[in-house]
Amino acid sequence: MFKNSKNEERNSKKTQNCFHGIFIRAPKVKSFGDGVEVLAKYDGEPVLLRQKNIMVGSFHPELTEDARVHEYFLNLQF
């Protein structure tokens, strides 16, 4: 479940996993079920999650020079 948590049009923040995320009208994760893995947090809040072959994020990794999120997704084994 998501809700809009950022009023800023565009905001760059460093996650606790040491990569930058561009947050544009970022949704906020309010809850998630069993089997969901939190991959990254910002200010203690989950911003990147995965369940099997599905990933969701509150930020736009494609707007940075860092390709680690994309590489992680491409290397997932199902």
Of 47, 59, 69, 66, which Cα lies nearest the Cα of 22?
59
Q: End-to-end CA distance of the chain, in Å?
A: 24
Q: In sequence order, what are the beta bridge partners of 13?
A: 21
State percent of the chain over pLDDT 70: 76
Given a cut of 50, whether residue 7 has pLDDT beyond it is no
Q: What tens digit of pLDDT does each residue of 43-53 get? A: 889 999 999 98
How many independent structural domains does the chain possess?
A: 1
CA gap 32, 48 in Å, rounded = 12
Both tokens of 77, joined, read 């084994």
Residue range of the domain that includes 68: 2-74
CATH at 67: 3.40.50.880
| pLDDT confidence tier of residue 1, bands split at 50, 70 and 90 | very low
State percent of the chain over pLDDT 90: 22
